[in-house]
Amino acid sequence: MRKFALVSVPYFWLLILFLVPFLIVLKISLSDTALAIPPYTPTLDLAEGWAGIKAFFAGLDFENFTFLTEDPLYWKAYFSSLQIATISTTLALLVGFPIAYGMAQAPDEWRTTLMMLVILPFWTSFLIRVYAWIGILSTEGFLNQFLIWIGVIDTPLIIMNTKIAVYIGIVYTYLPFMILPIYAALEKLDNSLLEAAEDLGCTRTRAFWLLTVPLSRPGIIAGCFLVFIPALGEFVIPSLLGGSETLMIGKILWEEFFNNRDWPVASAVAVVLLAILIIPIILFQRNEQKQREAGK
Amino acid sequence: MAVPVFAPWEDPTQKPLIQFKGVTKRFGDFTAIDNQTLDIYTREFFALLGPSGCGKTTMMRMLAGFEQPTEGQILIGGIDMKGVPPNEREVNMMFQSYALFPHLSVWENIAFGLRRMGQPKDELEARVEEMLRLTRLTKFARRKPHQISGGQRQRVALARSLARAPKLLLLDEPLGALDKKLREETQFELMDIQEKTGTTFVIVTHDQEEAMTVASRIAVMDEGCVIQVATPATIYEAPNSVYVADFIGDVNIIEGAAKRAGTGYEITWAEGEAPLHTRKEEGEIVAIPEGGKAYLAIRPEKVAIHADKPQGVANAVQGKIIDVAYLGNLSTYHVRLANGTMVRAQTANTRRLALRPFTWEDTVWLSWTDTAAILLAE
């Protein structure tokens, strides 16, 4: 009974703060837009009893989802988001793995400090850190000034308001989520395994690919999902750094909701986004489960 | 038909497989190995024995190539190993932690080293199967290391390190993680496998019983120095120092002043007591300065215990039984001599306990022959 109570707490939490809001969003996505408060119909009128409930369900349809497939803007935005999230995740892995590897190889007394340095950016507001990148990447920014000063380029590079700026922003912001799980996996790696591989005829490089990489795979997968999932729905970074040419679904969602005040379409966009995210989330949880079983 | 005794170290025409030549290894200020010279021969089962921190593991890691000597040379098969990385040595090591690859099956673990040699597929498979049979692991080939027991893991580690048919196999405390009974069984298995494969084994251990059981020769080490290299019997019967005598088995040490007397020595050990006598076997040469300080080492099982003063024995001393340790098959009597020296005498319990002739506080006589004790300078 006590066990049941303990287990039910997180499930109750999820029910109240995830499932119920999701059902509300799902309901709105099936509604029609209206000039009213709230700006959609139908609304549930319990005062009319059974007839009211029937009328309510009769008013729901999949019109908004059909609309999403008809207007190329939406699927282009989804595709572009997937592309940006995939590329950013790959870049974050390429940057994060060496950092995590370096941390795991560092002497014991340094590791806490290195870990602190990785987490440190979180102590500043996310928004301020993204704004700071505008100062660095813009045409008159520090990066261009520096490159012109050392004579590498004559005309400033256009980075701001391109996808490159979005990649930089996402990789920078989500890098700790990539580093920490990989570091946790690499830190546990027994050095004698690498020695054994060397003893059995591997060069160090080969031992790295045959042992270090496969044994840190759970960390790599966890890190990739932790970057990919938020990057896919990212709104702030493409808005601030990507300019108008970067199409991302988070931005579309915001525009539908606040500019067009079309709550039903915005909700439909959100529901589809969630459906896209659920696939990697399920894969991620499978991976976690496997890892736990292997650890037994 | 006499079986020739395996003793290549006594044959000057034999070339050693491994030669340490004035090897010193320092880690910063710490000297792990201090100018050591040592030869190990082909097909030997050689044990490096010593307490933890004595440098035995460092010796082994230098053979494997994980450490480079600071000074001196290590030769394997006559070739200087300086700068040769571990993956290019015909040496394999069985790690203390076994270091099995957790993401690979038992089969793949054993095949790992063979794959690096670029063998044809059928040869590789045949070799893995052979190794599985040798270590009785065929049934577990598809399991992952975490799905098998400690003893099985130990055998996988052995099979993996033997698969490449190395010239030399290094075993770092190979049985340390096993319980006593399994350890004893495995010791004989190891000897059996060593004989079957004809590989030279070098084992590192802190367990003197294990070293005595498996090894053809033992190197007793202390603080980065090899103190004595000899067969288990010689190490036990004729240790060259108090350290070795004390490290291997149980020993009584009686301190005294030695004086030459005929073919042996006479040791004055306490005032008012008859001197003790020792005679040396041929070939045992211990230089004791005349009248100098000497230590007499006697194994407890070589000390006889009597109620009355025995006649016609080389050494007899009187004492009082302070303690009796009953070990089932043996009893050890702790006897205090007149000058306070404690001497242990061990007797086999061939009779029932109730018939034991001696007990606490009894005054008894201890005796031993003049060849039973070994005279040591330090």
Q: Kindly tell me if the per-residue pLDDT of A292 is higher than 80.
A: no
* Average confidence (pLDDT) over A75-99: 95
Domain that holds residue B282: 250-376
* Closest residue in A to B116 (Cα–Cα): A201
> Is position B3 within any domain?
no
**Co-location of B225 and B265 in the same domain:** no
Q: Please list, in sequence order, all residues whose beta carbon lies within 8 angstroms of the beta carbon of residue A124, skipping any fewer than 6 positions away.
A: none
Question: B92 touching A, CB under 8 A?
Answer: yes
CB contact under 8 A, A197 and B112: yes
Interatomic CA distance for residues B372 and B276, integer angstroms:
12
Answer with the one of B216, B242, B268 that is the final residue of a domain: B242
CB contact under 8 A, A195 and B99: yes
pLDDT reported for residue B19:
93
> Is position B2 within any domain?
no
CATH number where B257 lies: 2.40.50.140
* Closest residue in B to A201 (Cα–Cα): B87
Overall number of domains in chain B: 2
* Average confidence (pLDDT) over A86-91: 96
pLDDT reported for residue A4:
84
pLDDT reported for residue B287:
63
CA distance to partner chain B, nearest, from residue A208 (Å):
13
* Band of residue B178 on the pLDDT scale cut at 50, 70, 90: confident
**Co-location of B158 and B307 in the same domain:** no
pLDDT reported for residue B286:
59
* Band of residue B88 on the pLDDT scale cut at 50, 70, 90: very high
Rg (CA), chain B: 25
Specify the CATH number for A67-295; select among 3.40.50.720, 3.30.70.260, 1.10.3720.10, 1.20.1050.40: 1.10.3720.10
CB contact under 8 A, A199 and B85: no
> Is position B1 within any domain?
no
* Closest residue in B to A193 (Cα–Cα): B99
Q: Please list, in sequence order, all residues whose beta carbon lies within 8 angstroms of the beta carbon of residue A201, skipping any fewer than 6 positions away.
A: B87, B113, B116, B117, B164
* pLDDT, tens digit, 9 for 90 and up, residues B239-284: 888 899 988 888 998 888 888 777 778 888 887 778 888 876 655 5
ipTM over 0.85: no
Report the length, in residues, of chain B: 378
pLDDT reported for residue B186:
86
**Co-location of B233 and B259 in the same domain:** no
Question: B97 touching A, CB under 8 A?
Answer: yes
Report the length, in residues, of chain A: 296
Asked whether the beta carbons of B286 and B375 are under 8 A apart, the reply is yes
Asked whether the beta carbons of A53 and A44 are under 8 A apart, the reply is yes
Q: Which two tokens stand for residue B371?
A: 């060849």
pLDDT reported for residue B314:
83
CA distance to partner chain B, nearest, from residue A223 (Å):
20
**Co-location of B93 and B46 in the same domain:** yes
Sign of CA dihedral B99, B102, B104, B105: positive
CB contact under 8 A, B113 and A201: yes
Answer with the one of B222, B242, B262 that is the final residue of a domain: B242
- Total-model pTM: 0.81
* pLDDT, tens digit, 9 for 90 and up, residues B327-364: 888 889 999 988 888 999 998 888 776 666 788 888 89
pLDDT reported for residue A164:
92
